[in-house]
Amino acid sequence: MSVQVENPASASVRGRWPLLALVVLALVLVGLLLVWLNLRGEQGVHAYGHGGWSGSTETRAALVERGAYLARVGNCAGCHTAAGGAEYAGGRGLPTAFGTLYTSNLTSDKETGLGLWSAQDFWRALHNGRSREGRLLYPAFPYDSYTRVTRADSDALFAYLQSLPAVRAQTPPHALDFPYGWQGSLAVWRALFFSPKDWQDQPGKAPAWNRGAYLAQGLGHCAACHAPRNGLGASGQAMSGGFVAGQSWYAPSLLDPGEAGVRAGQESAWVQLLQTGSGPSGSALGPMAEVVARSTQHWQPQDLQALASYLQEQGAAAPSAGTDGHGAIKAVQPGQMALGRAVYERQCAVCHGAQGQGTPGAFPALAGNASVTMAEPRNLLLVLLDGGYPPSTRQQPQPHGMPPFGHVLSDAQVAAVASYVRNAWGNKAAEIGTMEVYRAREGRGF
């Protein structure tokens, strides 16, 4: 009689099969879930048929004209025009924390642009963030906002882009760190942070409020800059302020009147800033100067008023962070204020006035200026170091700029004068240290 003794190794392998099967099943289910999450909302993208318009009764000429206006509202040329290149021909590099993305050619060229695209393909890109070939698009193209654009506006915008002269311009390949250049990574990001939205006016709200909401949340994509982002680059629609991706500038809150929010009764001054580039309390500088030059100065006045109406109500409902954001503000050291005052009187008072009152029509007042007293001082330091240049607009073709002082002032002097203007003439804000100035010079943030 013989006894069969099972090999322990074989038994071990056989015992692992159920676990391996469960792992494989889990991976398959996760994969199917990712596919479903990235395809949700696409069942309705063929509502008007391949290549068809949305049933609008507009003439082709009227559709193109309206699309041209919508392209200005969305500042499409701002991103899709490289320095020295043809408008809308793409190729502009957009720096991000994950590498550099290059914008696509939006002209009607059939090889490198949208010449072979249909209105349906374009709608799919805006609404679902997917290219004509079905590839997932990177959210540097803010389809998390554009998904709210109506089909009618999408068709008008596409009609305008198709009317542009064809420019053959091949977009450089993206230069992304691993694994961000992989479509699988993008699928995971979209599954976590993106789902298509269909725009619906809110019942009970005035038409102007709904129009402002549509512009802010949709084609205007205000949250692309003015909302905070998490470590994976995703943001909500809460426009409470955030750092501009790949740049040193801070996009202030559009909800907090202590930053760039619309103060009750001052809507006209806020609109003036977007129309001309300058207002009673400051000028559009940095990235916002380009937005004003290419986009908001061309908005219809009623659209700017609608945007102001919407943001003013949103701000009234949001809690204010105040000017310091950290509770009580410590008094600036007397020596620091004395040094800051000396620098101010020597370098700044000739334009901004001995009492920070500014020069009407030329240089903004610093007294009572929210841009000066914001809890986040980065923009103030950047202007002191590198200068500030408002945009040239139709209503203000030759604006007054501010020269840079980073080459003539030490870190200690910049910190002192920044602390002084934040705490003189009734202003109240936290003191600025030399380390903050050093980091601003080095572009390291705070």
Among 51-55, 119-123, 431-435, the range scoring the smallest mean pLDDT is 51-55
**76 in a known ligand binding site:** yes
Query: What local confidence, expressed as pLDDT, does residue 288 receive?
Result: 96
pLDDT digits (tens, 9 = 90+) for 179-229: 999 999 999 999 999 999 999 999 999 999 999 999 999 999 999 999 999
**407 in a known ligand binding site:** no
**348 in a known ligand binding site:** yes
Query: What local confidence, expressed as pLDDT, does residue 326 receive?
Result: 47
**End-to-end CA separation in angstroms for the chain:** 81
Sequence spans of domains, the chain: 56-193, 207-317, 334-443
Query: What local confidence, expressed as pLDDT, does residue 57 receive?
Result: 75
Query: What local confidence, expressed as pLDDT, does residue 14 receive?
Result: 56
CA separation, residue 196 to residues 38, 45, 186, 225, 397 (Å) = 10, 11, 15, 20, 40
* For range 412-441, the mean pLDDT: 96
Query: What local confidence, expressed as pLDDT, does residue 282 receive?
Result: 80
* For range 28-36, the mean pLDDT: 50
Query: What local confidence, expressed as pLDDT, does residue 329 receive?
Result: 84
Q: Which tokens sit at 161?
A: 């882009």
**79 in a known ligand binding site:** yes
Q: Which tokens sit at 200?
A: 């619906």
Query: What local confidence, expressed as pLDDT, does residue 325 receive?
Result: 46
Taking Cα atoms as reference points, which of 385, 352, 347, 346 lies closest to residue 367?
352
pLDDT digits (tens, 9 = 90+) for 364-406: 999 999 999 999 999 999 999 999 999 999 999 999 999 999 9
Residue 3 banded pLDDT, cuts 50, 70, 90: low
**225 in a known ligand binding site:** yes
pLDDT digits (tens, 9 = 90+) for 312-366: 999 877 665 544 444 578 889 999 999 999 999 999 999 999 999 998 888 999 9
> Could you tell me which CATH number the domain at 334-443 has?
1.10.760.10
